[in-house]
């Protein structure tokens, strides 16, 4: 059954996340069909944040698995607490009592995937930056997503009582395998249109006027159009707004505050030089 479109949109807005129609539809379909939701897009457009907001809206625990090169199965499924097992063994030897089962559940350390399966109320499982993981890990993940179950040889097979809502994010540092994409509902999150970006910036920056937000969003979009090495995302726009507002509250002119806090939106010297060369265009004040 599909979640109500208007209700979901309002729940996200109440949590200061302004999803467009495409993302709302993707979320509703992924949950209704029990499919993982694969989100791609530029860094800083809200791919990771939607999982936090969605978990809160659904009343579910958020479990995050941060991917990186070299991540292995033990780090994401479970491990045995060997120091605790050794202490239990030594305690039995000292007391002269029989050694209990060293592979009992009390010695099991749950990692994100096992935690997601064991969550009694269901969880939102965020598999963040899957493109940073190795292909071998991606292949393992296919098996997990197919049945939402894992086998612990010393114990039993664990199957999800309530299948988790799975969100995968990728910044496209490498192409994901087609097999993984086929199992997911895919959605690309673009940069928001100016009106929605203004609403986001204003919601995340209390005290910011609509006119100031409009100038900042215009400046951000001009910077993006210059094709810098790193195009600023929504996260950078919010940080720029918050930093500039702090300077403006001390008495700085808004345009000067934007110039002074450029380090919040530009992340390398080449982009700084590019913006400096187009300063008149970037900091034009035609909306105020």
Question: Which pLDDT tens digit goes with each residue over 181-227?
Answer: 999 999 999 999 999 999 999 999 999 999 999 999 999 999 999 99
Residues 172 and 222 both lie in one domain: no
pLDDT value of residue 252: 93
Q: What residues contact 231, with CB distance under 8 A and at least 6 apart?
A: 42, 191, 223, 224
**Residue at 34 is within a domain:** yes
Say if CB 288 and CB 211 are below 8 A apart: yes
Average pLDDT over residues 123-151: 89
Whether residue 23 is predicted with pLDDT greater than 80 in this model: the reply is yes
Average pLDDT over residues 80-89: 84
Cα–Cα distance measured from residue 135 to residue 195, given in angstroms and rounded to the nearest whole number? 39
Beta strand 157-159 with 108-110: parallel, antiparallel or unpaired? unpaired
Cα–Cα distance measured from residue 44 to residue 200, given in angstroms and rounded to the nearest whole number? 13
pLDDT value of residue 74: 79
Residues 182 and 200 both lie in one domain: no
Whether residue 286 is predicted with pLDDT greater than 80 in this model: the reply is no
**Residue at 184 is within a domain:** yes
Residues 120 and 234 both lie in one domain: no
- Tally the domains of the chain: 2
Whether residue 283 is predicted with pLDDT greater than 80 in this model: the reply is yes
Say if CB 11 and CB 4 are below 8 A apart: no
41 strand-pairing partners: 189
Whether residue 288 is predicted with pLDDT greater than 50 in this model: the reply is no
**Residue at 55 is within a domain:** yes
Residues 43 and 148 both lie in one domain: yes
Q: Which domain holds residue 28?
A: 5-76+111-189
CB neighbourhood size of 122 (10 A)? 18
Cα–Cα distance measured from residue 35 to residue 5, given in angstroms and rounded to the nearest whole number? 18
Which residue would you say has higher pLDDT here, 28 or 86? 28
Residues 22 and 60 both lie in one domain: yes
Give the tokens for residue 280.
Answer: 């008149």
Of 154, 189, 224, which residue sits at a domain end? 189
pLDDT value of residue 93: 82
Give the tokens for residue 88.
Answer: 């239990």
Cα–Cα distance measured from residue 30 to residue 50, given in angstroms and rounded to the nearest whole number? 14
**Residue at 51 is within a domain:** yes
Of 189, 215, 234, which residue sits at a domain end? 189
Residues 17 and 143 both lie in one domain: yes
Residue 52 pLDDT grade (very low, low, confident, very high; cuts 50, 70, 90): very high
Residues 142 and 207 both lie in one domain: no
**Residue at 95 is within a domain:** no
pLDDT value of residue 210: 95
Residues 55 and 124 both lie in one domain: yes
pLDDT value of residue 163: 92
The mean-pLDDT minimum among 52-66, 148-162, 235-249 falls in 148-162
Question: Which pLDDT tens digit goes with each residue over 65-84?
Answer: 999 999 988 789 888 888 88
pLDDT value of residue 287: 46
Of 172, 189, 206, which residue sits at a domain end? 189
pLDDT value of residue 110: 86
Mean pLDDT over each residue of the chain, to the nearest integer: 91
Of all residues in the chain, the percent with pLDDT exceeding 70 is 98
**Residue at 254 is within a domain:** yes
Which residue would you say has higher pLDDT here, 156 or 267? 267
Q: Which helix (H) or strand (E) holds 189?
A: strand 185-189
Residues 183 and 212 both lie in one domain: no
pTM (2 decimals)? 0.86
Residues 117 and 247 both lie in one domain: no
The mean-pLDDT minimum among 42-46, 58-62, 100-104, 111-115 falls in 100-104
Residues 263 and 212 both lie in one domain: yes
Instruction: Specify the 3-state DSSP secondary structure of 252.
Output: coil
**Residue at 130 is within a domain:** yes
Give the tokens for residue 196.
Answer: 């929605």
Q: What CATH number should be reported for the domain holding residue 43?
A: 3.40.50.300
């Amino acid at each position: 059954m599909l979640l109500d479109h208007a209700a979901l949109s309002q729940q996200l807005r109440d949590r200061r996340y302004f999803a467009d129609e495409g993302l709302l539809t993707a979320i509703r379909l992924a949950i209704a069909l029990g499919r993982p939701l694969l989100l791609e897009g530029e860094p800083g457009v809200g791919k990771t944040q939607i999982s936090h907001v969605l978990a809160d809206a659904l009343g579910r625990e958020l479990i995050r698995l941060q991917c990186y090169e070299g991540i292995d199965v033990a780090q994401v499924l479970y491990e045995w607490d060997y120091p605790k097992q050794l202490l239990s063994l030594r305690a039995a030897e000292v007391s002269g009592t029989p050694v209990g089962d060293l592979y009992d559940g009390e010695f099991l350390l749950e990692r994100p995937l096992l935690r997601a399966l064991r969550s009694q109320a269901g969880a939102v499982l965020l598999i963040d930056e899957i493109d940073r993981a190795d292909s071998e890990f991606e292949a393992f993940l296919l098996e997990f997503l197919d049945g939402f179950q894992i086998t612990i040889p010393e114990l039993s097979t664990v199957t999800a009582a309530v299948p988790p809502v799975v969100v995968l994010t990728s910044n496209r540092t490498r192409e994901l395998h087609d097999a993984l994409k086929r199992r997911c509902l895919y959605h690309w999150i673009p940069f928001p249109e100016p009106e929605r970006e203004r609403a986001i910036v204003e919601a995340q920056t209390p005290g910011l006027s609509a006119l100031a937000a409009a100038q900042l969003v215009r400046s951000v979009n001009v910077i993006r159009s210059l094709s810098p090495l790193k195009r600023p995302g929504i996260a950078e726009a919010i940080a720029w707004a918050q930093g500039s507002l702090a300077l403006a509250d001390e008495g700085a002119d808004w345009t000067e505050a934007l110039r002074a806090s450029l380090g919040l939106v530009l992340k390398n010297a080449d982009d700084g030089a590019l913006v400096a060369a187009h300063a008149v265009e970037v900091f034009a004040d035609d909306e105020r």
